[in-house]
């Protein structure tokens, strides 16, 4: 016989952001760098990225309302998303560091190429790139939900993604590590 635990009081969730953050950390996500090109290019690490629709091809990302990138995305016609590979933790940390140089200088520390459709920097070696046209933006509480229509994409087969889980960067297990249990194990 199992017993169900009582749900915590509503203010226990909304009144404890650290607890909410820890619980949300149980959900593993990919790690991306969102970029905008132009006269004042900008990049930002983001793990709130997902597909929305296949037809039309839409993706979304959530950006904190107080982030510089939120304003930049609101003014840009296009942007790009680079899905980082397992060996790119240093790139993720660089674009998460608020003390990095502004403008084009922030890209001096990484290898990148200009997106053909967006003009935004695409991080070299990333598992995938998406170049997007700004489609819609929605209120998401303390974040803005930015939806982009995919203009172009590429995917490097065999590149494992960088993963964020439980407050830290992780790699997916190699296929051999996920193999079925050896004979006699259950």
pLDDT, one tens digit per residue, over 134-165 is 999 999 999 999 999 999 999 999 899 999 87
Residue 95 in contact with residue 112, Cβ under 8 Å? no
Q: State how far the alpha carbon of 78 is from the alpha carbons of 55, 83, 158, in Å.
A: 19, 17, 28
Q: pTM for the whole thing?
A: 0.84
Name the token pair of 29.
Answer: 């996500």
CATH fold of the domain at 44-165: Pnp Oxidase; Chain A (2.30.110)
Burial of residue 54 (number of CB atoms within 10 Å: 0-12, 13-18, 19+): exposed
Q: From 163, 183, 181, select the one nearest 173 (Cα to Cα).
A: 163
Q: What percentage of the chain reaches a pLDDT higher than 70?
A: 84
For residue 86, pLDDT beyond 90: yes
Burial 9-43 (b: 16+ CB within 10 A, else e): eeeeeeeeeeeeeeeeeeeebbbbbbbbbeeebbb
Burial of residue 130 (number of CB atoms within 10 Å: 0-12, 13-18, 19+): buried
Burial of residue 148 (number of CB atoms within 10 Å: 0-12, 13-18, 19+): buried
pLDDT in the model for residue 76: 96
Q: From 173, 168, 174, select the one nearest 29 (Cα to Cα).
A: 168
Q: State how far the alpha carbon of 136 is from the alpha carbons of 7, 43, 47, 77, 186, in Å.
A: 35, 20, 19, 11, 49
Confidence of residue 53 (pLDDT cuts 50, 70, 90): very high
Collapsed DSSP state (helix, strand, coil) of residue 123: strand
Q: What percentage of the chain reaches a pLDDT higher than 90?
A: 69
* Phi, psi values for residue 21, rounded to 5°: -60, -40
């Amino acid at each position: 016989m199992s017993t169900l635990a009582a749900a915590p009081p509503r203010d226990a969730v909304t009144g404890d952001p650290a607890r909410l953050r820890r619980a949300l950390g149980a959900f593993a996500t990919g790690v991306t760098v969102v970029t905008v090109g132009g006269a004042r290019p900008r990049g930002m690490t983001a793990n709130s990225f997902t597909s929305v629709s296949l037809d039309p091809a839409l993706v979304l990302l959530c950006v904190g309302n107080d982030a510089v990138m939120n304003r930049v995305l609101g003014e840009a016609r296009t942007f790009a998303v680079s899905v980082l590979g397992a060996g790119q933790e240093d790139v993720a940390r660089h674009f998460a560091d608020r003390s990095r140089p502004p403008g084009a200088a922030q890209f001096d520390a990484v290898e990148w190429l200009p997106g053909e459709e967006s003009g935004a920097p695409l991080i070299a070696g990333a598992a995938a790139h998406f170049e997007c046209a700004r489609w819609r933006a929605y209120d998401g509480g303390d974040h803005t939900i930015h939806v982009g229509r995919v203009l172009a994409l590429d995917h490097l087969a065999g590149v494992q993604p960088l993963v964020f889980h439980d407050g830290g960067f992780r790699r997916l297990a190699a296929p051999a590590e996920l193999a079925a249990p050896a004979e006699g194990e259950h």
